[in-house]
Amino acid sequence: MGRSPCCEKAHTNKGSWTKEEDQRLVAYINAHGSGSWRSLPKAAGLKRCGKSCRLRWINYLRPDLKRGNFTDEEDELIINLHQLLGNKWSLIAARLPGRTDNEIKNYWNTHIKRKLIVCGVDPRTHRPLAAHQPSSSHDSD
């Protein structure tokens, strides 16, 4: 039933990619495109599985990827889109050219959630956090 696991083959590299492997993958895709990920590793002379090649290309090597820190405008857009869409990272990434869904998800979890909490905003509901101190009403009639 179904497909066999891609990375359980003998003689398949796992772990960090080398510069040479990155260069082989980029050169192959530039010359032939990214057709079948399952047959690409062998054709490109890589001892990796297709899934590993696909993820490496999509998340790290694509020439249209943005590098570096997120801008304040990107932060604001991510917060607004998260309020509308929730944790639908691929839909959010579609509105931020050059950023991947995985990168945005990781950025949300490591930076933006904390930033919202510091500002007194619940990162799940996007509403003000409940005050920790009981409110006292000293209103006179």
pLDDT tens digits for 36-85? 999 999 999 999 999 999 999 999 999 999 989 999 999 999 999 999 99
Model confidence band, residue 134 (pLDDT cutoffs 50, 70, 90): very low
Indicate the range of 92-101, 112-121, 128-137 predicted with least confidence.
Answer: 128-137
Superfamily of domain 72-118: Homeodomain-like (1.10.10.60)
Answer yes or no: is pLDDT of 10 > 80: no
CA-nearest of 121, 119, 127, 111 to 78 is 111
Give the fold, CATH level 3, of 19-61: Arc Repressor Mutant, subunit A (1.10.10)
Structure tokens at 77: 């857009």
Task: Show Cβ contacts of residue 121 under 8 Å, excluding neighbours closer than 6 positions.
Answer: 127, 128, 129
Model confidence band, residue 9 (pLDDT cutoffs 50, 70, 90): low
Model confidence band, residue 133 (pLDDT cutoffs 50, 70, 90): very low
Q: How much is the pTM?
A: 0.72
pLDDT of residue 141: 46
* Residue range(s) in the chain whose domain bears CATH number 1.10.10.60: 72-118
Average pLDDT over residues 12-23: 92
